Structure 1
Amino acid sequence: MKVFTIEEINAIVGGKLIGSTSQQITGLDQLQNANKDQITFIGSRKFAKLWPDSKASAAIVNESLTVEAGSDRALILVKNADLAMAKLLEEFKPKAPVFEADIHPAATVHESVVLGKGCKIGAGCYVGKDVVLGDGVILYPNVSVFDDSKIGDHTVVWSGTVIRERSIIGNHCIFHNNVSIGADGFGYRPSEDGRGLVKIEHIGNVVIGNGVEIGANSCVDRAKFSSTIIGDGCKIDNLVQIAHNCILGRSCIMAGHSGLAGSVTLGDGVVIGGSASIKDHTTIHSGATVGAGSGVMGDVAAGATVLGYPATEGRNMLKQWAALRKLVKS
């Protein structure tokens, strides 16, 4: 068990220590749940009022808030409590599952595979012909990586993930459980006799940049031609669908249950709220935000915020909702 003094924690987060406590800190928790041997955090006035009743001995607090430390309790003032807490969580992070052998004897690794230094491959993995794994790649048990795929240095792939043929993955990526990379795109056309559907083959691939994290049970489909592209630093939540030929710029965020139809383009730093749906062949320009549950039917300008179904400019939609509430009351 890791144990820190409040002074050691302050050194980690680089804050200003107010008050003092002799209590050793062994963990972190929310204000309402924290015990006396834990530290918590306060990032807004909404939570500051809960501090007096919290059992925590210490809190990391936004310096813009007014909070009293109290007896035998300490505060660490920082510019951003969330970012400071992220540093501290790294210190308390549990150890990853242990590999007793770098390449488990129950893994199937084709003789043509190129393995970088320090790769680890768990039981039940399949690594196909001409796959290249960079230095420090970790494949947890029951991961499949199909032919001609490349995975960059220090990428971690969790159990159940399938990376289809010809996929190209960057460095320092994280794929959580049951991610699907490079499956066929969804494409069908009515047959000439009108009695069925003709499958449109997808012969492209998926290219994923560096530092990308993809949540559990999310899917990135391969392109009809060329590549579906996920830019450096993108963060994809659980249960997200990214369809064929989509292109995401750098550092985009997609929350859970959101989805992009085919050939959608996102600029840099686009934020897609949970359960939002984006129509095919739509462009959402850099810095734009799509509110949760919205349905985007057309292009979105750089830096704009859109809400609703169909989505429209944020302030305009809020006025519409306010007007509807007035109608209901009348």
Structure 2
Amino acid sequence: MKSYTINEINDILKGELIGNTTQKIEGPEQLQNAKSHHITFIGALKYVKLWPDSKACAAIVNDNLTIEPGDNRALIKVKNADLAMAKILELFNPPAPELATDIHPTAVIHNTAKIGNNCKIGANCYVGKDVDLADGVILYPNVCVFDETTIGSNTVIWSGTVVRERCIIGSNCIFHTNVSIGADGFGYRPSDDGRGLVKIPQIGNVIIGHYVEIGANSCVDRAKFSATIVGDGCKIDNLVQIAHNSIMGRSCIMAGHSGLAGSVTLGDGVIIGGSASIKDHTTIHSGATVGAGSGVVGDVKAGATVLGYPAQDARDMLKQWVVMRKLAKK
């Protein structure tokens, strides 16, 4: 079991150490659940009151908070406790599951596929015709990668994920369990006789940049033509829908249950809150934020924050809610 002294941890964080503890630290934990061998973190004023009753021997604390360490307890003050705790979590992060063989004997790999150095392919995987896996790719058991797809170096794909044909995946990506990449976009039109629906063929692909992480059970659909694009550094939560021909810029964030309809464009650094929905052919410009549960039906300016259904400037929406609440009390 890993353990560290408070000074060893502060050497990593390079914060301001206040107080001291002789207790070896064996892991991080929440304030309420921590034991004497744990380090915790306090990132907001409302959590300060929980510190006296916590059993943690140490805490990482935002430097704008006033708090005393107590007996045989220590504080490390930093600019951002959340970011500092991320370093500690990485320090105690257990290793990922190991695959016993480089290529499991039950994996089915087409003879035209190119497999790079140090790749790992787990049980019951399928790797199709002309697939190209760069060095260090890991496919955990029951992953399917279909024809003519390319996957960049050190990308990790967890069990149950399906990457459809002709997709292009960058390096250092992580796809969690049951991700769908490149399924058909949702395209239908009423038939001429009005008696049914005509499926619109989806002949494009999906292009995903480098350092992209996609959460479990999320879907990125292929384009009708051209490509659905997810830019470098994007982080996508569980149960997210990205529809055909949408384009995401760099370092966008989409929280759980949010969705982009077809041909939505996001600039760089856009944040989409949980359960928000974005209408088709809408552009959300760089640096904008869409609040949780909002419905965006028109373009959003760069740097703006929108909220509500339909979404509008967050300050205006909050004022409306205040007025409505006052009216309800009359």
* Alignment partner, residue 233 of structure 2: 233
Deviation at 1:17, TM superposition (A): 1.1
Deviation at 1:15, TM superposition (A): 1.2
* Alignment partner, residue 272 of structure 2: 272
Deviation at 1:160, TM superposition (A): 0.3
CA distance in 1, matches of 2:40, 2:267: 36
In the alignment, structure 1 residue 292 sits paired with structure 2 residue 292: yes
Q: Structure 2 matches for 1:19-58, cutoff 5 A?
A: 19-58=19-58
CA distance in 1, matches of 2:284, 2:319: 23
Deviation at 1:296, TM superposition (A): 0.4
CA distance in 1, matches of 2:212, 2:14: 27
Structure 1 gap segments, 5+ residues each: none
CA distance in 2, matches of 1:293, 1:79: 31
Q: Report % sequence identity.
A: 75
Count of residue pairs the alignment pairs up: 330
CA distance in 2, matches of 1:277, 1:76: 40
Deviation at 1:71, TM superposition (A): 0.3
> For residue 117 of structure 2, what is the amino acid of its counterpart?
K
In the alignment, structure 1 residue 18 sits paired with structure 2 residue 18: yes
Give me the CA root mean square deviation: 0.5
In the alignment, structure 1 residue 200 sits paired with structure 2 residue 200: yes
Name the SS for the 1:53 alignment partner.
coil
> For residue 39 of structure 2, what is the amino acid of its counterpart?
I
TM-score w.r.t. the length of structure 1 is 0.99
> For residue 292 of structure 1, what is the amino acid of its counterpart?
A
* Alignment partner, residue 119 of structure 1: 119
* Alignment partner, residue 70 of structure 1: 70
Deviation at 1:300, TM superposition (A): 0.4
> For residue 85 of structure 2, what is the amino acid of its counterpart?
M
> For residue 107 of structure 1, what is the amino acid of its counterpart?
A
* Alignment partner, residue 90 of structure 2: 90
CA distance in 2, matches of 1:118, 1:81: 36
CA distance in 1, matches of 2:75, 2:258: 38
CA distance in 1, matches of 2:198, 2:212: 34
In the alignment, structure 1 residue 324 sits paired with structure 2 residue 315: no
* Alignment partner, residue 262 of structure 1: 262
Name the SS for the 1:166 alignment partner.
coil
* Alignment partner, residue 5 of structure 2: 5
* Alignment partner, residue 220 of structure 2: 220
CA distance in 1, matches of 2:38, 2:189: 59
Deviation at 1:243, TM superposition (A): 0.1
Deviation at 1:25, TM superposition (A): 0.6
CA distance in 2, matches of 1:135, 1:14: 35
Name the SS for the 1:61 alignment partner.
strand
> For residue 313 of structure 1, what is the amino acid of its counterpart?
D
> For residue 255 of structure 2, what is the amino acid of its counterpart?
A
Name the SS for the 1:47 alignment partner.
helix
> For residue 3 of structure 2, what is the amino acid of its counterpart?
V
TM-score w.r.t. the length of structure 2 is 0.99
Name the SS for the 1:203 alignment partner.
coil
* Alignment partner, residue 135 of structure 2: 135
Deviation at 1:84, TM superposition (A): 0.6
CA distance in 2, matches of 1:114, 1:91: 35
Deviation at 1:196, TM superposition (A): 0.6
Name the SS for the 1:89 alignment partner.
helix
| Deviation readout 1:169-226 (Å, 9 max, x if unpaired) | 0010000000000000000001111111000000000000000000000000000000
* Alignment partner, residue 158 of structure 1: 158
* Alignment partner, residue 184 of structure 2: 184
CA distance in 1, matches of 2:251, 2:185: 24
* Alignment partner, residue 103 of structure 2: 103
| Deviation readout 1:281-328 (Å, 9 max, x if unpaired) | 000000000000000000000000111001111100001100000010
> For residue 173 of structure 1, what is the amino acid of its counterpart?
C
> For residue 117 of structure 1, what is the amino acid of its counterpart?
N
CA distance in 1, matches of 2:86, 2:111: 41
> For residue 228 of structure 2, what is the amino acid of its counterpart?
T
CA distance in 2, matches of 1:135, 1:16: 41
> For residue 70 of structure 1, what is the amino acid of its counterpart?
G
